[in-house]
Structure 1
Amino acid sequence: MVEELHAQGIDETCVDQTALDQVLEAGQAERICVARGIEPEPGLNSRFEVLVEDCKKLLEGYSEEDQVDFHQVQDFIVVEKGAVLMRRLPPTSGVPGLSVLGEMLPTEQGYVLEFNAAAEGAIIDPDNPDQLIAAVKGHPILIENGVCVDPTLWIDTINLESGSIDFDGSVEVKGDVTSGFSLKATGDIIICGMVEKATVIAGRNLTIVGGVAGEDLGRDQHNELILKARLSAGGNIRAKYTNLAYLRAGGDIVIREFVLQSDLSAKGGFI
């Protein structure tokens, strides 16, 4: 039977020897496939290998029985300028197929894909066009075929979902810093909402669009108020108002409306 297949021009590579053995063992067959061609395998397009971790740290995968400290500090990743963020791997050529008659079946080669042009804060390495590097120091954010680098960390609200934040750079909070949490940054901090009974420490300037509403925890042995809200900045502190809070500034403290039962200290002035 094999000789007959060869006589018909069937390539030996495509012969299904197992099927032939079954026919010979049964002594008969109606319709059975005894030779199969090989499908061509198309090449793969460029693939992108991420060389830094994504910034997002999500509180997920916990069961109700797990002991989770929702106030723990989230230490976000920061990359230095020039750090390699992503590597582009070359496309592959693919594997040709083979017909049952031994004819080569052409394949398609993979395409070279470009890095995402929307990868702000990153550039193509001038010494290696297949590498993406950080143009600035900042927080890496993974996107399709690219990595953005943002010198400012953007947070909706400092709460149970985010945890406390400790970031090497600047931070902007769209909402509030809620009670029991802390926010620390080596750069500037901008809080678009308010600060509750929390700790906020900025290496440079601290701006609070809303106000500071702390809490009186009683008095110490020197009859001084023990205040829950604590804010400090290496530069200026600006806020709409402050109530029951400690404020320490290396520059000026600027309060637009009022100060109530708060302890303020500034190396600059009070405005």
Structure 2
Amino acid sequence: MTTEQIARKDKNCLLKFTKDDVLLKLRLDNNPDLVEIEEFLEKNSIMEADYDIIKNKLEEEDEGWFKIAPNLDLPVEDDKVSLKVTKDKLQALLTFVPGRDGKQLQLADVKDLLAAENITYGINQEKIKQILKHRNPVENSIVAEGKAAEPGQNAYLIYHFEEKKKQAGTLREDGTMDFHSLDLINNVRKGEKIVTKVDPVSGKPGIDVYGNEITPPQPKDVKLPRAKNTVHKENDLYAVKDGQIVRERDKIVIKPVYQIRGDVDLSTGNIDFVGSVKIGGNVREGFEIKAAGDVEINGNVGAARIEATGNVLIKKGFLGRSKGEISAEGDVNARFVENANIKANNVRVHEAIMHSKVTAKDSVIVTGGKGLIVGGRIIAQNLVEANLIGSSLATKTFIEIGLEPELKKRYTDLKSELTNLENNLDKVEKSIDLLKSIQQSGKKLPANKEEMFFKLKKTKLELKNNQVELTREFEQLKEALTASEKAVIKVNESIFPGVQLLSSKDKMIIRNKISQAAFSEINKELRQTTI
């Protein structure tokens, strides 16, 4: 027997042989069993083991080495080694069992075994050397390792908008909550990028312990979503219309009209939309609608605020309570208007306008049904027409026709600006002509004159551009002013005392009831004419 340590092991214990003794070490993590230890020792020809010591060590849960028997002359055994490869072929695992006084394996023996198994890549010779040197039992130690394939990246989509989620309200700067502003609409503008596709990226191949290439999995591709009112440009999706962007399963839809089936209230919040808006119910007090298009409301409008770049249609009434406002670049139509403020191009009301301020660039007409205007102030550049104006109670009612005072002032200011601009332009052109004549005479302009010449030409261009813009505005106002000189107030049935009529240059107070009459400015005076 040599003095080298020779070991055996099973799940219950480890054996170590010295020159004089047999040592045992319990594998407490595996809950060793005394009967199984006895069987293991018999298999290894340990016939004189002290089982009382083993039993005591089990009870004490001793993890150290302890003597169980003297070392007798045991049979000679050679070193044993075996290999196995993992299912993914990325690791070769070695199990080594040292022998007793028999043949000891060398590095070349293990290399021959690896070659016989066709294992050629990632062999860790240094680790094999250490296992053979220390001669301790080893189980499934990694002695060769391949390189796994690096997966690529699947294609994916980037959405340049977030789906709005219902919320209780928005936080104001002062820390209070605005329960009317829920910010539920995803607005998108024409030409805006809404989705981008990022292409897939291929992975990198690997190699197994047999030296074979491992192909990485093919990355998955993805298509840009199907979409209405959009256009594809390479890997991007763009909106071709203003509207509300909505995700419907695997589709994207841009809706140019925002529809609410019921009321505008705390469940919907204020509406701010880049297209037209349709409301199936009413607009409750305190709410706002802003639309870059038309607004159509099937019900009533309370003390709310509506702003539209197109027309506003209210199929029932507008009950403003002195707080409700409508501002439209197009026309406003309603069944009746009470205690409200309206600004529009034309205003058409079926039943009545009561105690309201209505301003129209063109006309205000109340002729359907009762066709009443009473209380408040009505202002129109060209026409105010109603069946009845005022009431038998002499309710103060103001009707004003002709160009608005601020527009008339702008017209006068523009006329003066254009005159000054023409004078300045004339001076600049004369200075330019003078410098040109010096050049044409063959003389070279001094440096300061050259700089002046350049600045004068630049100034002339700026003045000309300004002149074009101001002239365009001036002509538009002139046309409106000319049209307003023919402005008229038409009364199809009766106008009552308490009504005051105003034009650009005159006013008239109605002192007696008048039937079926028209009023217009003639020679700077408001006069009554026949319809």
TM-score, normalisation: structure 2: 0.39
Which of 238, 242, 245 in structure 1 is aligned with 2:333?
238
Which of 108, 111, 115 in structure 1 is aligned with 2:217?
108
Q: Aligned residue for 2:513?
A: none
Cα 1:178–1:89 change in 2 (3 A) is same
What is the rounded CA distance, in whole Å, between the counterparts of 1:115 and 1:58 in structure 2? 27
Cα 1:109–1:177 change in 2 (3 A) is same
Does the CA-based 8 Å contact 2:286-2:303 persist in structure 1? Answer: yes
Cα 1:72–1:61 change in 2 (3 A) is closer
Letter in 2 for 1:134: A
Q: Aligned residue for 1:199?
A: 305
What is the rounded CA distance, in whole Å, between the counterparts of 2:239 and 2:231 in structure 1? 6
What is the rounded CA distance, in whole Å, between the counterparts of 1:73 and 1:102 in structure 2? 62
Greater length-normalized contact order (CA 8 Å, ≥ 6 residues apart): 1
Question: 1:124 offset after TM fit, Å?
Answer: 0.9
Residue deviations 1:165-223, cap 9 Å, x none? Answer: 333432233443222121122321122443222111222111234443444xxxxxxxx
Which of 335, 346, 354 in structure 2 is aligned with 1:251?
346
What is the rounded CA distance, in whole Å, between the counterparts of 1:234 and 1:101 in structure 2? 79
1:121 matched to 2:229? The reply is: yes
What is the rounded CA distance, in whole Å, between the counterparts of 1:195 and 1:62 in structure 2? 24
Question: 1:122 offset after TM fit, Å?
Answer: 0.5
Question: 1:123 offset after TM fit, Å?
Answer: 0.8
Q: Aligned residue for 1:220?
A: none
The worse-fitting range, judged by mean Cα deviation, of 82-91 and 139-148 is 139-148
1:163 matched to 2:163? The reply is: no
Cα 1:187–1:27 change in 2 (3 A) is same
Matches within 5 A, 1:129-140: 129-140=234-245
Does the CA-based 8 Å contact 1:95-1:107 persist in structure 2? Answer: yes
Question: 1:37 offset after TM fit, Å?
Answer: 5.5
Question: 1:60 offset after TM fit, Å?
Answer: 6.2
Letter in 1 for 2:305: T
1:71 matched to 2:180? The reply is: yes
1:27 matched to 2:132? The reply is: no
Does the CA-based 8 Å contact 1:142-1:148 persist in structure 2? Answer: yes
Query: What SS is found at the alignment partner of 1:251?
Result: strand
1:269 matched to 2:377? The reply is: no
Question: 1:99 offset after TM fit, Å?
Answer: 3.0
Matches within 5 A, 1:215-226: 215=321
What is the rounded CA distance, in whole Å, between the counterparts of 2:345 and 2:287 in structure 1? 23
What is the rounded CA distance, in whole Å, between the counterparts of 1:81 and 1:99 in structure 2? 54
What is the rounded CA distance, in whole Å, between the counterparts of 1:82 and 1:165 in structure 2? 22
Residue deviations 1:136-186, cap 9 Å, x none? Answer: 233444566775433333456533344333334322334432221211223
1:59 matched to 2:167? The reply is: yes
Letter in 2 for 1:104: E
Letter in 1 for 2:286: G
Aligned residues: 250
Q: Aligned residue for 2:293?
A: 187
C-alpha RMSD of the superposition: 4.2
Q: Aligned residue for 1:224?
A: none
Higher helix proportion: 2
Query: What SS is found at the alignment partner of 1:204?
Result: coil
Does the CA-based 8 Å contact 2:147-2:208 persist in structure 1? Answer: yes
What is the rounded CA distance, in whole Å, between the counterparts of 1:57 and 1:184 in structure 2? 20
Does the CA-based 8 Å contact 2:206-2:216 persist in structure 1? Answer: yes
Letter in 2 for 1:228: K
Cα 1:239–1:47 change in 2 (3 A) is same
TM-score, normalisation: structure 1: 0.69
What is the rounded CA distance, in whole Å, between the counterparts of 1:214 and 1:61 in structure 2? 24
What is the rounded CA distance, in whole Å, between the counterparts of 1:23 and 1:177 in structure 2? 89
Query: What SS is found at the alignment partner of 2:254?
Result: strand
- Which structure has the greater CA radius of gyration? 2
What is the rounded CA distance, in whole Å, between the counterparts of 2:120 and 2:292 in structure 1? 70
What is the rounded CA distance, in whole Å, between the counterparts of 1:10 and 1:61 in structure 2? 67
What is the rounded CA distance, in whole Å, between the counterparts of 2:131 and 2:244 in structure 1? 63
Cα 1:240–1:104 change in 2 (3 A) is farther
What is the rounded CA distance, in whole Å, between the counterparts of 2:155 and 2:312 in structure 1? 44
What is the rounded CA distance, in whole Å, between the counterparts of 1:170 and 1:69 in structure 2? 24
Query: What SS is found at the alignment partner of 2:289?
Result: strand
Query: What SS is found at the alignment partner of 1:153?
Result: strand
What is the rounded CA distance, in whole Å, between the counterparts of 1:190 and 1:138 in structure 2? 16
| Identity across the alignment (%) | 27
Q: Aligned residue for 1:96?
A: 205
Letter in 2 for 1:152: V
Cα 1:70–1:137 change in 2 (3 A) is same
Structure 2 residue runs of 5 or longer lacking an equivalent are: 1-93, 95-106, 369-531
Question: 1:254 offset after TM fit, Å?
Answer: 3.8
Q: Aligned residue for 2:69?
A: none
Q: Aligned residue for 1:10?
A: 119
